[in-house]
Amino acid sequence: MEPLEDTLRRLREAFCAGRTRPAEFRAAQLRGLGRFLQDHKQQLQQALAQDLHKSDFESLVSEIVISQGEVDLALRNLRAWMKDERVSRNLATQLDSAFIRKEPFGLVLIVAPWNYPVNLTLVPLVGALAAGNCVVLKPSELSRSTEKVLAEELPRYLDPSCFAVVLGGPSETEQLLEHRFDYIFFTGSPRVGRIVMAAAAKHLTPITLELGGKNPCYVDDDCDPQTVANRVAWFRYFNSGQTCVAPDYVLCSPETRERLLPALQSAITRFYGDDPKSSPNLGRIINQKHFLRLQGLLRCGRVAIGGQSDESDRYIAPTVLVDVQDTEPVMQEEIFGPILPLVTVRSLDEAIDFINQREKPLALYAFSNSSQVVRQVLARTSSGGFCGNDGFMHMTLASLPFGGVACCHQLLSAQPSSHNAL
């Protein structure tokens, strides 16, 4: 295996030689990435099933289709994105040419997570390739089967002088971060994000941090409980809850909570049957460490629905908790699993105060038959993404870039793209 220093030197030399700048080269890399997705679709689905127990449908819609859509979007718009942007002139520049030129950063590091190990690896890669960068890709070591496919097959479809995959765990990632990159794109936990940001600061490297958080979901008293339950349960338990923009807790009145509970039970049964453990549509927790953490959260509050677990299968049932306290761990950390606390509030104002007293969430959801209520939640809170009367739909629109309040996705590619950072 080539030493890391030699790999980085090789990629930087290729960039400095201008190899990645022509539109034809960028398009060829994107087409190669598209062929990889087509040729290895079944292999990727099998890997995702081994890592996370994802069904073929789930891996298709949340991983492969999204990645292919990003490739297609970049190919359609590549030349337009690369064009100089003319700007208006003032009195002092009337005789000059004024324009904005979009240039690649150079050598880009992409550190990917395990929960959507195809989507959240390849979508940032599309932006980096389209913008004419050389790339070091670090897939997650926790999603081992998917990592193996990416490491063994993907390099065959991209130019080896401009692209490399680096494997390993935390120590290898730390070694990577000791080197200077021109841009770092990291998706993962706030804890590791702080480490990445500190390492980037040593070289003044621009960075995008895609971090999770606790995403509130406000449910008004006038809602149809079954409609809300269907939408919340589908997105909360998709990928076994291991989605950074999934609703992390529900805020509602005590009366609405009592109407929601049977509706949530009905939705869970409809989606996963009477025995969710045997359902082909319910994923598993990524590893034992995360399983044990989630099993501990089941002791918070009172289990109203579900609560069953099986360590040997890394299975945790779709669960609803009630009577949780603010100080309990389930309300202090991102859950990242199939557990949904219902927290009672007495009014819309109290719900908004509850949200604003905490860190700004990555995503926020509000359900109400009153558009005025939905607009109030939107106007009086701040979040990376907001969706009224639905979940997840704001993530599917190509015209809406996604990220946290302080996150700028479009820095890596020439234009904002249909980021689906789940």
Strands 385-388 and 363-367: parallel
pLDDT tens per residue across span 276-324: 999 999 999 999 999 999 999 999 999 999 999 999 999 999 999 999 9
pLDDT tens per residue across span 68-77: 999 999 999 9
Cβ-based neighbours of 387, under 8 Å, separated by 6 or more = 363, 364, 365, 366, 393, 394
Q: Enumerate the β-bridge partners of residue 279.
A: none
- Look up residue 132 and give its DSSP letter: T
Q: pLDDT band at residue 94, thresholds of 50, 70 and 90? A: confident
Domains and CATH numbers, the chain: 4-211+398-411 (3.40.605.10), 216-391 (3.40.309.10)
pLDDT tens per residue across span 189-239: 889 999 999 999 999 999 999 888 899 999 999 999 999 999 999 999 999
Alpha-carbon distances, residue 312 vs 239, 285, 316, 323 (angstroms): 18, 11, 11, 29
Q: pLDDT band at residue 409, thresholds of 50, 70 and 90? A: very low
Q: Which amino acid is present at 400?
A: L
* Mean pLDDT score of the chain: 92
Q: Report, as an integer, the average pLDDT of 134-143.
A: 97
Q: How many Cα atoms are found within 13 Å in the side-chain-facing hemisphere of 173?
A: 23
Q: pLDDT band at residue 1, thresholds of 50, 70 and 90? A: low
Let me know: does 67 contact 418? Beta carbons within 8 Å. Answer: no
Query: Using CB atoms within 10 A of its CB, is residue 252 exposed (0-12), middle (13-18) or buried (19+)?
Result: buried
Alpha-carbon distances, residue 160 vs 19, 182, 185, 396 (angstroms): 12, 19, 20, 32
Let me know: does 299 contact 254? Beta carbons within 8 Å. Answer: no
Helices (H) then strands (E): counts for the chain: 14, 16
Let me know: does 294 contact 257? Beta carbons within 8 Å. Answer: no
Let me know: does 253 contact 345? Beta carbons within 8 Å. Answer: yes
Residue 356 has pLDDT above 90, yes or no: yes
Going through 143-243 in order, the beta strands assigned E by DSSP cover 163-165, 183-188, 207-211, 216-219
Instruction: Using DSSP, state whether 183 is helix, strand or coil.
Output: strand
- For residue 174, the tally of other CB atoms under 10 A from its CB is 13
Tell me what pLDDT residue 66 has.
Answer: 95
Going through 323-414 in order, the beta strands assigned E by DSSP cover 339-344, 363-367, 385-388
pLDDT tens per residue across span 2-23: 789 999 999 999 999 999 999 9
Q: Which of 86-90, 179-183, 230-234, 393-397 has the lowest mean pLDDT?
A: 393-397
Active site residues: 210, 244
Let me know: does 321 contact 302? Beta carbons within 8 Å. Answer: yes
How far is C-alpha 334 from the geometric centre of its chain's CA atoms? 14
Q: pLDDT band at residue 348, thresholds of 50, 70 and 90? A: very high
